[in-house]
Amino acid sequence: MDASDLLRGALLQLSESETVRSAVVRAPVSRAVVDRYVAGEAVPDAVGVTGELRATNRLATIDHLGEDVTDRAQAEAARDTYLALVDALTEADLARFGAAEVSVKLSAVGQSIPGDGDAIALENVRAICEAADRAGTTVTIDMEDHTRTDRTLEAVRELRADFPWVGAVLQAYLHRTEADCRDLAGAGSRVRLCKGAYNEPSSVAFQGGDVDLSYVRCLKVLMAGEGYPMVATHDPRLVEIAQALASHHQRSPDSYEFQMLLGVRAGEQKRIADRGHQMRVYVPFGADWYGYLVRRLAERPANVRFFLRSLAGS
Ligand code: FDA
Q: Specify whether 142 is catalytic.
A: yes
* Catalytic residue selected from 8, 160, 192, 280: 192
pTM of the model: 0.93
Alpha helices in 15-59 (DSSP H): 18-26, 31-37, 43-55
Q: Within this chain, do residues 169 and 154 fall inside the same structural domain, yes or no?
A: yes
Whether 314 shows a pLDDT value over 50: the answer reads: no
Q: Which residues constitute the domain of residue 308?
A: 1-37+289-314
Q: Are strands 279-285 and 59-64 parallel, antiparallel or unpaired?
A: parallel
Cβ of 248: how many Cβ atoms within 10 Å? 11
CA atoms of 44 and 296, how far apart (whole Å): 23
Q: Please check whether residues 3 and 29 belong to one and the same domain.
A: yes
Write the pLDDT tens digit of every residue in 13-68: 766 776 666 666 656 555 677 888 999 999 999 999 999 999 999 999 999 999 88
**Residue 84 shares a structural domain with residue 227:** yes
Report ipTM for this prediction.
0.97
* Residue 234 near ligand 1, beta carbon < 6 Å: yes
Which ligand 1 atom is nearest residue 198's CA? 25
Q: What is the DSSP string of 111-176?
A: TTSTTTHHHHHHHHHHHHHHHHHHHT--EEE----GGGHHHHHHHHHHHHHH-TT-EEEEETTBTT
Looking at the fold, whether 1 and 149 belong to one and the same domain comes out as no
Is residue 116 part of the annotated active site? The answer reads no
Residue 126 Cα to ligand 1 middle (Å): 27
Q: Is 18 in the same domain as 69?
A: no
Give the mean pLDDT of 78-92: 98
Total tally of structural domains belonging to the chain: 2
> How confident is the model over 229-242, as pLDDT tens digits?
999 999 999 999 99
Q: Is the CB of 145 under 6 A from ligand 1?
A: no
Same domain assignment for residues 181 and 69: yes
186 and 310 part of one domain? no
Kindly report the number of other CB atoms within 10 A of residue 4's CB atom.
Answer: 15
Nearest to 15 by CA among 145, 177, 150: 145
The dihedral sign for the CA sequence 60, 285, 266, 294:
negative
How far apart CA 245 and CA 222 sit, in angstroms, is 10
Q: Is 299 in the pocket of ligand 1 (CB under 6 A)?
A: yes
